[in-house]
Structure 1
Amino acid sequence: MYVSVKGGEAAIDNAHRLLADRRRGDRSVPALTLDQIAEQLVLGVDRVMSEGSLYDRRLAALAIKQARGDLIEAIFLVRAYRTTLPRFGFAEPVDTGAMLVERRISACYKDLPGGQLLGPTFDYTHRLLDEALDGDPEVEPGETREGATEPVSRIADILGGEGLIEEEISGNDEPDDINQTPLEFPLSRAMRLQSLARGDEGFLLALGYSTQRGYARSHPFAGEIRIGEVEVEVFMPELGFAVPVGRVQLTECQMVNQFKGSAKVPPQFTRGYGLVFGQSERKAMAMALCDRALRAGELGEDIVAPAQDQEFVISHCDNVQATGFVEHLKLPHHVDFQAELGLVRTMRTQFEQAESAMENKEAAE
Structure 2
Amino acid sequence: MYVAVKGGEKAIDAAHDWLAEVRRGDPAVAELSLAQIREQMSLAVDRVMSEGSLHDPDLAALAIKQSRGDLIEAIFLIRAYRTTLPRFGASHPIKTDTMQCQRRVSATFKDVPGGQILGPTFDYTHRLLDFKLAAEGAVPDAPVEDDPDLLAERKPHVMGFLNKDSLIETAEPDDETPPDLTRAPMELPANRALRLQNLTRADEGFLLGLAYSTQRGYARNHAFVGELRIGKVAVEMDIPELGFAVEIGEITVTECETVNQFKGSKTEPPQFTRGYGLVFGQCERKAISMALVDRALRWKELGEDNAGAPAQDEEFVLSHSDNIQATGFLEHIKLPHYVDFQSELELIRSIRAAANAAQQDTKITAE
Band of TM-score, shorter chain = over 0.9
How far has the Cα of 1:3 moved from its partner?
Answer: 9.7
Q: How does 1:199-348 map to 2 (within 5 A)?
A: 199-303=202-306, 304-348=308-352
Correspondence list, 1:51-90, <5 A: 51-90=51-90
Q: How many pairs are equivalent?
A: 363
Tell me, in whole angstroms, the C-alpha distance in 2 between the residues paired with 1:58 and 1:47: 13
TM-score norm. by structure 1 comes to 0.96
Distance 1:351 1:141 in 2: 77
Distance 2:39 2:11 in 1: 37
**Given that residues 2 and 335 in structure 1 are in contact (C-alpha distance below 8 angstroms), is that contact kept between their aligned partners in structure 2?**
no
Q: Name the residue aligned to 2:113.
A: 113
What is the TM-score normalised by the length of structure 2?
0.96
Letter in 1 for 2:139: V
C-alpha offsets along residues 260-290 of structure 1, whole Å, 9 cap, x if unaligned?
A: 1234422111111000000000000010011
Q: Kindly state the Cα deviation for residue 342 of structure 1 after the two structures are TM-superposed.
A: 0.5
Matched, 1:136 2:136: yes
Deviation at 1:129, TM superposition (A): 1.0
One-letter amino acid of the counterpart of residue 162, structure 1: D
CA distance in 2, matches of 1:21, 1:135: 27
Deviation (angstroms), 1:144: 4.5
Q: 1:153-180 deviations in whole A, cap 9, x for unaligned?
A: 1111111111111111212111111122
| Residue in structure 2 matched with residue 169 of structure 1 by the alignment | 172
Whole-Å separation in 2 of the counterparts to 1:226 and 1:189: 22
- After the TM superposition, which of the residue ranges 348-357 and 197-206 deviates more from structure 2? 348-357
Counterpart Cα distance in 2 of 1:338 and 1:183? 35
Quote the RMSD (CA, aligned, Å). 1.6
Mean CA deviation greater in 64-73 or 143-152: 143-152
Mapped partners of 1:352, 1:53: distance in 2 = 57
Q: Secondary structure at the match of 1:249?
A: strand
The answer to whether residue 49 in structure 2 is matched with residue 46 in structure 1 is no
Task: Give 1:238 deviation, angstroms.
Answer: 2.6
Which residue type is aligned with residue 166 of structure 1? E
Counterpart AA for 2:88: F
User: What is residue 100 of structure 1 aligned with on the other side?
Assistant: 100
The 8 Å contact of residues 2 and 334 in structure 1, kept in 2 or not, is answered as no
Once the two structures are superposed, what CA deviation does each residue of 1:53-95 show, in whole Å capped at 9, x if it has no partner?
A: 0000000000000000000000000000000000001110001
Structure 1 residue 5: Cα displacement: 4.5
Q: List per-residue Cα deviations over 1:266-319 (Å, max 9, x = no partner).
A: 211111100000000000001001100111111112221111111111111111
Unaligned runs of 5+ in 2: none
Whether the 8 Å CA contact 2:3–2:337 is kept in 1: the answer is no
Q: Residues of 2 paired with 1:94 and 1:115: CA distance?
A: 22
